[in-house]
A and B are shown apart, each in its own frame.
Chain A
Amino acid sequence: VSKPAKPFQPVILIANHLLDGDVVFWGGADWVLDHRKALVATDAHQAEALSLIGSAAYAANHIVDAETIAVTLSADMTPEPIHMRDFIRTRGPTTRTDLGKQAD
């Protein structure tokens, strides 16, 4: 008996902006600074499309270190990262709340 397929974990596309190193997210039309405005891929096909967008933007020298990260979705479909590493990237150092995105 085959195991039931694991439900797909939604993902968003994260990267660093080439010029200033800022953490950015693919918002659907452009790169955005706020992860809550990121385009969410809710199935494998959409996730693959996000990865291709990351590769293209990398090749075009807009961003570096693009990757998709797993998120959960709130009732209003706002994405929040699952892993601590990604959580910190969306906000800034937990020890310096005056720095990073959380300070904006």
Chain B
Amino acid sequence: MYRYDEFDRDFVFARVAEFRDQVERRLSGALNEDEFKPMRLMNGLYLQLHAYMLRIAVPYGTLSTKQLRRLAEIAETYDRGYGHFTTRQNIQFNWPKLRDVPEILEKLAEVEMHAIQTSGNCIRNVTADHFAGVAADEIEDPRPVAELIRQWSTDHPEFSYLPRKFKIAVTGAAHDRAAVLAHDIGLRIVKNAAGEVGYEVIVGGGLGRTPMIGKVVSPFVAKADLLAYLTAIMRVYNTFGRRDNKYKARVKILVHEIGVTEMVARIEEEFAALDKASIVNDAAEQARIAAYFAQPAYCDLPGASQALDKARAADQDFDRFITNNVAAHKRPGYAIVTISLKPIGGAPGDATADEMRAIADIADQYGFGELRVTHLQNLVLPDVAKDDLVNVYAELKRAGLAHANVGLITDIIACPGLDYCALATARSIPIAQAIAERFASPERQRDIGELGIKISGCINACGHHHIGNIGILGLEKNGVENYQITLGGDATELAAIGERLGPGVPAEQVPDIIESIVETYRGARQGDERFIDTYRRIGIQAFKEALDANRH
């Protein structure tokens, strides 16, 4: 995985020193809050309902065990013993003290981590497919290009004061696990007719109060031209993006207002005028970065594992875990294991310091010391030999982490909501807990099959509710929490924004409504049809009618 060179290292430590000075000046009164706030936000430090909150970047979701152990140490020393993995592959600590933050950042810098550009109107942490580099359906590992973009965008003087925040996601696989169509820029690694690898570029996706699916602005940008093309997009946005209204300042609004044809014309005009030689992504630089992502020292293994097959036959729970939490690896004899951070009744995405250490130990012993954070708020062991899956499962079980629910109805995304967040209008976590408890039975979850529920505690949509198969948006109505439910959202290559099921409902009704939706699906599905496919076939009306019938 990527290691800092001397420039990265010096830069990050310099930022720590700079922020330490800024905090000292704030505490001495030399800086007031109006002056200090933009500085702390540039270093990922927010003020939430109960305390400060520090958001730490996990670039393209790749994490070493050394880094995870350091996060565990920070959780215990400076926070309340846990962290929260977010829908942007970051981690948040909810209780740091301002005076401790420079020290926390110093400790992060020691393990090549930081909180830079996890807030503010800049290009945020670049996210990627969490199966990057190991997915069986991948054209190319997206992490080197995500790293290239990170280097290009970090502290970029031209793009540090954009009209609004800017999120980029990259996938190298046919199946989109990175929700690239819901980002300001989405990149898909593709091959052109000549067999060359390049990028399909998508602009103007996003969620929030105005959800939009991104539009393709170029079907193929050559590798060497990528940074120049991205620069052209950013310049168009920086020039024409609205600054008069923060709710209309994202690039999706610009694309919507001027139309994709005009957007493409402006990008192409800018691209043509650029001094491309100054920002060319040359082959030597591509190779230099790619070398950091060299694959681990795999063994030559047979594709099948007798030990695995035998254990599956002997243990139903283990078999269920393999079915739900293990994905195909590009390398014979290896598998990708997703560790669910969604225990029944738990807070989605939360991990305690002990859990982080247990996961780090397992990754060291069985997974080449590498982990991934998913935007679905789970962790991944990307490289586990199939023969070791029995042991990995046993270790996870011992640590209380063998939740076999990945992709199922209890694998719920939820933002922190009103329990923590200053922007939230309603709670998210208790809704996720109530639904998970309602559908806790493993047999029932298996019967329902693949179904993604995503919950946001406000219109800003950090819980990605618009693109949940079932989306839940928490609002406040007359002083009471109220939840709007949408159906048919999809975060994949078939991305779709969910449709409203009906008027908002109070919290206590949500599990019953989810139950009605699920039963309508079960009654209408054909064979092994997934929820989203049944929904697309029968439409929202059938769900509305069933809900009305249940109410009377």
Chain A residues within CB distance 8 Å of chain B:
16, 18-23, 58-61, 64-65, 82-85, 88-89, 92-96, 99-100
Contact = CB atoms under 8 A, between A and B. Distances in A.
Nearest to B29: A61
Contact of A19 (B98, B418, B420): B98
Contacts of A92: 50
Contact of A83 (B29, B80, B424, B479): B479
Tell me which of A59, A65, A95 has the highest count of chain B C-beta atoms within 10 A of its own C-beta: A95
B260 interface: no
B481 A84 contact: yes
B79 to A, nearest CB: 10
Contact of B47 (A21, A59, A60, A93): A21
Contacts of A100: 50
B97 interface: yes
Interface residues of B, number: 30
Interface stretch (B102-110, B325-333, B427-435): B427-435
A67 to B, nearest CB: 11
B394 interface: no
B430 A94 contact: yes
Contacts of B420: 93
B430 A88 contact: no
4 nearest A-B pairs in the assembled complex, by CB-CB distance: A21-B51, A93-B419, A21-B52, A20-B97
B347 to A, nearest CB: 6
A95 B51 CA distance: 16
A58 B29 CA distance: 11
B32 interface: yes
Given A19-B97, A21-B97, A58-B33, 16 more contacts: A16-B47, A18-B26, A19-B99, A22-B50, A22-B51, A23-B49, A23-B50, A59-B32, A61-B26, A83-B479, A84-B426, A84-B427, A85-B424, A88-B419, A96-B419, A99-B80
B49 A89 contact: yes
Tell me which of A58, A61, A94 has the highest count of chain B C-beta atoms within 10 A of its own C-beta: A61
Contact of A95 (B29, B429, B480): B429
Contacts of B419: 88, 93-96
Contacts of A96: 347, 419
A89 B99 contact: no
Interface in B89-115: 95-99
Contacts of A20: 51-52, 97-99
Contacts of B95: 21, 99
A93 B49 CA distance: 9
B45 to A, nearest CB: 10
B418 A85 contact: yes
Contacts of A59: 32
Interface in B412-461: 418-420, 424, 426-427, 429-430, 433
B50 A19 contact: no
B494 interface: no
Contact of A64 (B33, B427, B480): B33
B27 interface: yes
B95 to A, nearest CB: 8
A95 B49 CA distance: 14
A22 B80 CA distance: 14
B32 A21 contact: no
Contacts of B479: 82-84
Nearest to A59: B32
A65 B27 contact: no
A64 B50 contact: no
Interface string B32-74: 1100000000000001011110000000000000000000000
A19 B80 CA distance: 17
B481 to A, nearest CB: 6
Contacts of B32: 59, 61
Nearest to B30: A61
Contacts of A95: 347, 419, 427, 429-430, 433
A94 to B, nearest CB: 6
A25 B171 CA distance: 48
A64 B47 contact: yes
Contacts of B433: 95
B164 to A, nearest CB: 22
Contacts of B426: 84
B430 A19 contact: no
Nearest to A58: B33
A18 B97 contact: no
Contacts of B51: 16, 20-23
A21 B427 contact: no
Contacts of B80: 99
A83 to B, nearest CB: 6
Contacts of B99: 19-20
A82 B478 CA distance: 12
A21 B50 contact: yes
A92 B99 CA distance: 21
Interface string B464-506: 0000000000001001110000000000000000000000000
A83 B478 CA distance: 10
